[in-house]
Amino acid sequence: MTRRLSAIFFLITFLSIASFAQSTIPSPKSVLGFNPGDDRTVAGWSQITDYFERLDRASDRVLVQTLGQSTLKRPLIVAFISARENILALPKYKDIQQQLADPRKITQNVQRDRLLANGKVVVAISCSIHSTEIVASQMSMQLAYELATAQDADTREILQNTILMLIPSPNPDGIDIVANWYRKTLGTAYEGREPPELYHHYAGHDDNRDWFMLNLKETQLITRLLWHDWFPQIVYDVHQQGSNGSRFFIPPFYDPPNPNISPLLLRQVGLIGHKIAADLQAAGFQGVLTNALYDTWWHGGFRTAPYFHNSIGILSEAASARLMSPANVTTEQLARSSTRGMRNATESSTNFPDPWPAGQWRPRDIMSMEMTSARSILEMAAKFRVEYLRNFYELARKNIESAGPQAYLIPAGQARDEAVAKLIGSLIDQGVEVFRLDRELHTVLATPVLRRVNPVAEKLGNYRRLASVTASQMQEVPLGSYIIFLAQPQRTNILALFEPQIYPNRLTGQGEAERPYDVAGWTLPLQMGVEAPVVMAIREPANERKLTLLKDANEVRADLALPLKKGDESPIKNPLKQPVRVGIYKGATSNMDEGWTRYIFDTFNVPYSSVRDTDMRQGALNSKFDALIFTSQAATQIINGNAAGTLPAEYTGGITGGGVKNLKEFVNNGGMLICFDNACDMAIKEFNLPLKNTLEGVRSSEFYCPGSIVALDVDNKHPIASMLPPSVPAYFINSSAYTATADANVRVIARYAKDNLLLSGWLLGEDKLSGQVALAEVSVGKGRIVLFGFRPQHRGQAWATLPFIWNALSTAASNSSEE
């Protein structure tokens, strides 16, 4: 054949394959053998990825990309779904998104108008980040199939005007944990029960509490996709809630809103929520709830992170079935289901106009509502394409042009190098610009502190943020410091991470604290023990500054002479002064605090073994361990475990009385027992320690602190507080405080601060906490018990208090080596 003929032949073959492929796009059923959402069926991760691969090969509307590997090395994928011509031009659209996301790249109105005219609305839909909320992962295949095959005008409009990034699950490991468990228990007495293990290796349910810290591989990979590459205008995070309340929650959200979220975003979130609600109602679905329970205060979830990148974040929460088995819900259960914004699930109201009448609730019901909801969002995006692009651009532009403080500074010479590197690395990974000073700057700095507004209402802690008097004059900032300017598209993100939070004082009619949806305070530099004052003014004009934009955390690590990160290995050097045989208790009930503890130990390369109930019951613990850590968990859970009959026998029973006896022997023989927060109650009771939890049984009208940063007064002459400053921020999440009776065996290492106790968040009834014991060491026999009233490693974020753990373990080693 001539070259020209062969080209024509190729073209004909290509066209015929293309049209052949279009007609033979495999349905999920043809691949799986069942329709996604059928009762008592579940597709595991390899089935889901296999389906998407087939769809990618068969449809020119679908392109599947592997983002990387999950924590347990499964592929994490995203499917781009759009019209054929858009899929062929993805790099062009990615470039448009990157320009709109950063208006500094757009110098002329005509350039902006061209981008708005040519761009597509990018929508990300993420399914089943919480793996027991399994239906959406199954739904993803059906949604992709329908978009790949439909020929109707509405779908064509969606495909032309939007680019969907569909994430079948951001936690592939969890899909298999749940699918395997579900199959194993199907047809047994335990069918539909949740698995007794964490469905993310480290974080469990907290895998959706990581969107600003970026500890987990999954959040790192998706953050790169979303906030470095594609900048979606809309992110839809698909969840399930308990079985007995509303059938489906969608925004608008409940109060309070985070003050750093643009009002325009809150309105747009509400608009899409009401569009979904109207579409669900029109399709005959009942039990849809808005304006209730879920709020936008806290910063770290999949649907909240977008607000701080100028994007719209939508959450839906469908009522759960029993994994993939139907559930029966009674009128009585609905009537007992009450939450803020909903008196009960049988009473109609403006935000809940059509209660669902009880009955059988199936995975198919969940899936149908999620499909309708996804479709509503895509329709809105397609119909108002230019508005979504323009609003997105305008929010970024306003952030760049806002007046007020200039920057945050991370001064050189802090004795917390690893924390500084981690903090800056997390900022860069989420797309924040961080510069190094290559020449000194002269600045006016301030450090905000919280003060009570109304001294009369002592107990009711109303706080206000005051810029403190630390400095009001120009002072020189040394070169080697880092600076984060606020005039960048992520201004609101930087403010929300660096400012102290002041949660509004919200009480119920009965005077009890109204529980926020998640934590009340999280200020990142405080949690990490890194000094980060706000820069009010800079003397040098822009052309006299010498700054380097940082590319990644390794540049900071190089500056600070820390080992560089290579590949997936954590580069942090083991902080223990000598080898210690550490055991971390891992009971049969899943415990996120235990998972995060393993995360921190793995990240700091501190070796440990997980200690199971059988190990505790067997005893001879001194022959294996120098120190045992019990992470925050109730004493009854540790001792009794899961109740017999609730799960297969191998998952029931705790350490038992025998384990307690072995633990006493371990400490008496010279071992170190370390307890975090709730687990201290077990030690205090079983060892009869001379301490008392003063917050036990206190009503929330008297004291309430639901996830806040508080100051500790530290006795740094004690070896466990060695090298720490006299005041250390600690994470308090409905935690504990103690009074100690005078006893030579008790040494108090830290107390909750007497002055300026609340650093960030919400604290009701300060007097109940102020001055009480936060960290103590008690001698028992030849050994010691270390009691942390707070969570020194909370969510892998509280780096300020990690040195207490390393110091305690280092002294455990010296103890056993002396013997």
Which lies closer to Zn ion via its Cβ, residue 207 or residue 429? 207
193, 239, 586, 751: which one contacts Zn ion (CB under 5 A)? 239
As measured in angstroms, the least distance from the Cβ of 294 to Zn ion is 10
The burial class, CB within 10 Å (0-12 / 13-18 / 19+), for 435 is: middle
As measured in angstroms, the least distance from the Cβ of 195 to Zn ion is 15
As measured in angstroms, the least distance from the Cβ of 47 to Zn ion is 22
CA distance 499 to 513: 23
For 161-222, give the secondary structure using H, E and C.
Answer: HEEEEEECCCCHHHHHHHHHHHHHHCCCCCCCCCCCCCCCCCCHHHHHCCCCCCCCHHHHHH
Which lies closer to Zn ion via its Cβ, residue 316 or residue 490? 316
Q: What are the backbone angles phi and psi of residue 121, rounded to the nearest 5°?
A: -75, 125
Which lies closer to Zn ion via its Cβ, residue 136 or residue 679? 136
Cis status, amide bond into 256, omega within 30 of 0: yes
As measured in angstroms, the least distance from the Cβ of 133 to Zn ion is 5
- The residue range among 235-243, 633-641, 693-701, 721-729 that interacts with Zn ion, by the rule CB under 5 A, is 235-243
As measured in angstroms, the least distance from the Cβ of 176 to Zn ion is 18
CA distance 641 to 591: 11
Which lies closer to Zn ion via its Cβ, residue 74 or residue 239? 239
- The residue range among 232-240, 366-374, 385-393, 656-664 that interacts with Zn ion, by the rule CB under 5 A, is 232-240
The reply to whether 200 sits near Zn ion by the rule CB under 5 A is no
Maximal CA-CA distance, the chain = 99
As measured in angstroms, the least distance from the Cβ of 316 to Zn ion is 10
Which lies closer to Zn ion via its Cβ, residue 133 or residue 713? 133
- The residue range among 69-77, 124-132, 346-354, 790-798 that interacts with Zn ion, by the rule CB under 5 A, is 124-132
- The residue range among 65-73, 231-239, 575-583, 757-765 that interacts with Zn ion, by the rule CB under 5 A, is 231-239
- Rounded to the nearest 10 degrees, what angle do helices 172-185 and 45-58 cross at? 120
As measured in angstroms, the least distance from the Cβ of 194 to Zn ion is 12
CA distance 758 to 710: 5
Which lies closer to Zn ion via its Cβ, residue 241 or residue 642? 241
As measured in angstroms, the least distance from the Cβ of 364 to Zn ion is 20
- The residue range among 236-244, 282-290, 440-448, 731-739 that interacts with Zn ion, by the rule CB under 5 A, is 236-244
> Cβ atoms within 10 A of the Cβ of 652, count?
18
> Cβ atoms within 10 A of the Cβ of 257, count?
17
Residue 4's contacts (CB-CB under 8 Å, 6 or more residues apart) are none
CA distance 329 to 313: 30
H or E, element range at 139:
helix 135-149
Residue 367's contacts (CB-CB under 8 Å, 6 or more residues apart) are 36, 37, 135, 136, 138, 139, 142
As measured in angstroms, the least distance from the Cβ of 239 to Zn ion is 4
Segment 784-813, which members bind Zn ion (CB under 5 A)?
A: none
As measured in angstroms, the least distance from the Cβ of 242 to Zn ion is 10
Which lies closer to Zn ion via its Cβ, residue 131 or residue 310? 131
- The residue range among 9-17, 237-245, 677-685, 796-804 that interacts with Zn ion, by the rule CB under 5 A, is 237-245
As measured in angstroms, the least distance from the Cβ of 593 to Zn ion is 19
CA distance 819 to 815: 7
Which lies closer to Zn ion via its Cβ, residue 170 or residue 196? 170
- The residue range among 36-44, 130-138, 487-495, 572-580 that interacts with Zn ion, by the rule CB under 5 A, is 130-138
As measured in angstroms, the least distance from the Cβ of 245 to Zn ion is 14
Which lies closer to Zn ion via its Cβ, residue 70 or residue 171? 171
DSSP 76-92: EEEEEE--HHHHHTHHH
Q: Name residue 693's beta-bridge partners.
A: 738
61, 74, 120, 130: which one contacts Zn ion (CB under 5 A)? 130
Cis status, amide bond into 252, omega within 30 of 0: yes
Which lies closer to Zn ion via its Cβ, residue 242 or residue 478? 242
Structure tokens at 2: 């001539």
- The residue range among 239-247, 345-353, 545-553, 704-712 that interacts with Zn ion, by the rule CB under 5 A, is 239-247
Which lies closer to Zn ion via its Cβ, residue 130 or residue 784? 130
**Chain centroid to CA 111:** 37
Give the number of residues in contact with Zn ion, rule: CB under 5 A. 3
- The residue range among 131-139, 505-513, 588-596, 611-619 that interacts with Zn ion, by the rule CB under 5 A, is 131-139
**Chain centroid to CA 651:** 28
CA distance 608 to 602: 9
**Chain centroid to CA 781:** 41
CA distance 350 to 292: 11
Structure tokens at 544: 């006299």
- The residue range among 126-134, 180-188, 340-348, 748-756 that interacts with Zn ion, by the rule CB under 5 A, is 126-134
CA distance 751 to 737: 9
Which lies closer to Zn ion via its Cβ, residue 129 or residue 680? 129
- The residue range among 133-141, 362-370, 400-408, 574-582 that interacts with Zn ion, by the rule CB under 5 A, is 133-141
As measured in angstroms, the least distance from the Cβ of 349 to Zn ion is 24
As measured in angstroms, the least distance from the Cβ of 411 to Zn ion is 39
For residue 52, which of 33, 66, 41, 42 has the smallest C-alpha distance? Answer: 66
CA-angle at 528, arms to 527 and 531, nearest 5°: 100
Structure tokens at 532: 């980060």
Which lies closer to Zn ion via its Cβ, residue 294 or residue 799? 294
**Chain centroid to CA 234:** 19
Which lies closer to Zn ion via its Cβ, residue 435 or residue 517? 517
| Radius of gyration of the chain, Cα coordinates, nearest whole angstrom | 28
As measured in angstroms, the least distance from the Cβ of 130 to Zn ion is 4
Which lies closer to Zn ion via its Cβ, residue 235 or residue 728? 235
Q: Which residues bind Zn ion (CB under 5 A)?
A: 130, 133, 239
